[in-house]
Amino acid sequence: MAKVVSQDVKKYFGEVRALDGVSIEIEDGAFVVLLGPSGCGKTTFMRCISGLEELTDGKIYFDDKEVSRLQPKDRNVAMVFQSYAVWPHMKVRENIAYPLKLKKFSKEEIEQKVKWAADLLNISELLSRYPSQLSGGQRQRVAVARAIVHRPEVLLMDEPLSNLDALLRVKMRSELKKLHEQLKVTTIYVTHDQVEAMTMGDKIAVMNSGRIIQYGTPEEIYKKPATAFVAGFIGSPQMNFFKCDVVEENGQQYAKFEHVRFKIPSRINNRSVIVGIRPENVSLEPPKGSDSITLEATVYFIERLMPETILHLDVGNAKSRITAKLPDDLVLPEGKKIEVFVSTESLHFFDAETEERIL
């Protein structure tokens, strides 16, 4: 178990800047989820931590030991690959035992540890099979068993659930999380599924174009997204954005979008801002006990998810469409004019240029 520190890690593939200065400090024993769109460098970062990829620049530490230049085998990491990479020419038992064999454990110890790992992952009956005789889910368990059997300092998982069907994915999600609670091994988990990220991560690191944009608890990421990118990436349906000019009337600043004015709670110096509204913060009734703004909208399309309803609404005269997520089942005719309400507290403000959070 170790703290993992990455200092300004860079990895270039020729012209491609896969990692462009990644700095993060991962607490000992934490379960950290790396989340980001395809091609943002998640896999590359994992490979840098494991040592499969040489760094172009920067440093990586496990606790106080620098590991940046060490071979993978000298780092005491384990990895669950997206394809599992369970060796097809070894039986399940040999697959799990192999890391121990390479670390020169005695025969008895190997046997005992393999049994421990196999019991933990519920694959004891599969030990004398070849990987080709397993289902995808079973193979995934073998890959996890192999990864934890020698009690690594750092466990890396690259989209381990993406090849499983939806039902199994939900089940494995909780199992992996339980496993982590038992083992307390520092875990870095890559996914681009935000539900996985939200439910599994003690902390989430959101990546984009080779950088970590925000590192925080799921709650922080959801409630206080550091940039408009993070805000748009987390949450489903996506946050609604309005590009607004800042105007001032009677000493009060407003973000103005066509005829809609969003009251800005405290003084800012930006000339234009992006206002973000989460679909789940839009309601049909004015919220009680807090300030709210009213939007006049036309129903464009309605999705009944049972019991929730997602409304696609046209606001204002321009072609700006927003989504609203309502907790109940609801039927509204398309084309109907309605009023929706958003509490002032739930507004997010980002700078229009840098897209960084202001309020």
Ligand X SMILES: Nc1ncnc2c1ncn2[C@@H]1O[C@H](COP(=O)(O)OP(=O)(O)OP(=O)(O)O)[C@@H](O)[C@H]1O
Interface ranges with Mg ion (CB under 5 A): 43
We find the least distance from the C-beta atom of residue 156 to other proteins, in angstroms, to be: 8
Report the site for other proteins in 75-94 (rule: CB under 8 A): 77-79, 81, 83, 85-89
Looking up tokens 């700095």, which residue turns up?
23
**Of the two residues 18 and 60, which places its CB atom closer to ligand X in the complex?**
18
We find the least distance from the C-beta atom of residue 249 to Mg ion, in angstroms, to be: 49
**Of the two residues 110 and 164, which places its CB atom closer to ligand X in the complex?**
164
We find the least distance from the C-beta atom of residue 121 to ligand X, in angstroms, to be: 25
What would the DSSP string read from start to end of 1-61?
Answer: ---EEEEEEEEEETTEEEEEEEEEEEPTT-EEEEE--TTSSHHHHHHHHHTSS--SEEEEE
Q: Residues 152, 78: contact at Cβ < 8 Å?
A: yes
* Side-chain-side CA neighbours of residue 135 (13 Å): 6
Q: Is residue 46 helix, strand or coil?
A: helix
Question: Does residue 103 interact with other proteins by CB under 8 A?
Answer: yes
Task: Give the rounded distance of the alpha carbon of 122 from its chain centre.
Answer: 27
Neighbour tally for 171: CB within 10 Å: 13
**Residues near 320 by Cβ (< 8 Å), separated by ≥ 6?**
242, 257, 314
Question: Does residue 4 interact with other proteins by CB under 8 A?
Answer: no
Stretch that binds other proteins, among 1-9, 72-80, 218-226, 328-336 (CB under 8 A): 72-80
**Of the two residues 101 and 271, which places its CB atom closer to other proteins in the complex?**
101
We find the least distance from the C-beta atom of residue 87 to other proteins, in angstroms, to be: 6
Residue 43 is encoded by which pair of tokens?
A: 């896999």
Strand (E) or helix (H) holding 135 = none
We find the least distance from the C-beta atom of residue 107 to ligand X, in angstroms, to be: 39
Question: Does residue 60 interact with other proteins by CB under 8 A?
Answer: no
Q: What distance in Å separates the CA atoms of residue 149 and residue 163, rounded to the nearest whole number? A: 23
We find the least distance from the C-beta atom of residue 158 to ligand X, in angstroms, to be: 7
Decide which of other proteins, ligand X, Mg ion, none touches 89; Cβ closer than 5 to 8 Å per partner kind: other proteins
Residues in contact with ligand X by the rule CB under 6 A? 13, 16, 18, 36, 38-44, 192
Nearest residue (beta carbon) to Mg ion: 43
**Of the two residues 93 and 203, which places its CB atom closer to ligand X in the complex?**
203
We find the least distance from the C-beta atom of residue 189 to Mg ion, in angstroms, to be: 12
We find the least distance from the C-beta atom of residue 100 to other proteins, in angstroms, to be: 9
Question: Does residue 129 interact with other proteins by CB under 8 A?
Answer: yes
Question: Does residue 102 interact with other proteins by CB under 8 A?
Answer: yes
Question: Does residue 71 interact with other proteins by CB under 8 A?
Answer: yes
Q: What distance in Å separates the CA atoms of residue 291 and residue 250, rounded to the nearest whole number? A: 18
Outline where 42-91 has alpha helix (H). 42-50
Q: What distance in Å separates the CA atoms of residue 6 and residue 45, rounded to the nearest whole number? A: 10
Q: What distance in Å separates the CA atoms of residue 39 and residue 59, rounded to the nearest whole number? A: 22
Q: What distance in Å separates the CA atoms of residue 332 and residue 15, rounded to the nearest whole number? A: 52
Q: Residues 77, 67: contact at Cβ < 8 Å?
A: no
Of these, 65, 69, 73, 243, which contacts other proteins (CB under 8 A)?
73
We find the least distance from the C-beta atom of residue 178 to other proteins, in angstroms, to be: 24
Q: What distance in Å separates the CA atoms of residue 52 and residue 11, rounded to the nearest whole number? A: 12
Report the site for other proteins in 11-50 (rule: CB under 8 A): 50
Looking up tokens 């084309």, which residue turns up?
335
Helices 107-120 & 136-148, crossing angle to 10 degrees?
Answer: 130
Binding pattern for the stretch 132-171 against other proteins, x by CB under 8 A and - elsewhere: xx------------x---x---------------------
Enumerate binding residues for other proteins (CB under 8 A). 50-52, 71-73, 77-79, 81, 83, 85-89, 98-99, 102-103, 129-133, 146, 150
